Amino acid sequence: MNKVIAVHIGPTGETTSINQPGKLLLFKKKRDSWHVGSERSFALNQDKGLREMRKQMAELLASLEECKVIVAGSITGVPYYELERAGFSIWEFDGKPADFLDYVLDKEEEAVKEAAVCEVVRLPVPEELGNGIFRISIKQIQELDTGLTSKQALMPLLRRTGWYRIEVLCNHIPPWLEAEVMAGSMVCETKKTSPGDVLLTLYKQVCGG
């Protein structure tokens, strides 16, 4: 992720409410130290109504470049709504940036890793192509340490009564599936489509069974 954090500060150099006049500093981390990449004054004009506040927030968002993390003393109302809608991670802290920048970055990086793990550990969903034909990929399960197994991914599909053909993209035929084929419960055709990619085509031994 980008090591960039926007911080709204007041005259004392400490964070202040986004609704209060201040400066928005764009901190960037290079190696082990933070430096200010850019700064701009920001004073939300709440007296001119909702449309003007949204316009100001749109201008602010456009100035934040690749940044998606913002810290202020408090963030509420229109600023919170516009930042959330733009996909920002919103933090509220009191103090000087040096007190919390590393902490916020650590937590953001942890969240990215957790999201990646959650995405990986989901069981693959078979694609239904019609006429009893399905397609599914178990490559991620075989290649990554997800805690899931190819059997967990395939057995619910194999137990269905309405399939005729299943195309399985994998990097090798699972031993348990090979045993099922040898037991005569289905027919399997194997085709190597590219280095590390194998297409298994499974047919029911008795159609419509």
Q: What is the CA radius of gyration of the chain?
A: 27
The length of the chain in residues reads 209
Structure pTM? 0.58
Question: What pLDDT was estimated at residue 160?
Answer: 83
pLDDT in tens, 152-205: 999 989 988 789 999 999 999 999 998 888 888 789 999 998 888 999 999 987
pLDDT in tens, 42-65: 999 888 889 999 999 999 999 998
From the number of C-beta atoms within 10 Å of its C-beta (0-12, 13-18, 19+), residue 133 rates as: middle
Report how far residue 12's alpha carbon sits from residue 95's, in angstroms, rounded to the nearest whole number: 10
Band the pLDDT of 206: cuts 50, 70, 90.
Answer: low
Q: Six-digit token pair at 71?
A: 């810290």
Instruction: Look at residue 46 and give its three-state secondary structure.
Output: helix
pLDDT in tens, 66-112: 899 999 999 999 999 999 999 999 999 999 999 999 999 999 998 88
**Residue 1 above 70 pLDDT?**
no
**Residue 207 above 70 pLDDT?**
no
Cα 118–chain centre separation: 9
From the number of C-beta atoms within 10 Å of its C-beta (0-12, 13-18, 19+), residue 204 rates as: middle
Closest CA to 138 of 130, 126, 128: 126
Instruction: Look at residue 65 and give its three-state secondary structure.
Output: coil
Instruction: Look at residue 139 and give its three-state secondary structure.
Output: helix
**Residue 135 above 90 pLDDT?**
yes
69 and 12 in contact (C-beta within 8 Å)? no
Report how far residue 134's alpha carbon sits from residue 127's, in angstroms, rounded to the nearest whole number: 6
Closest CA to 177 of 138, 122, 121: 138
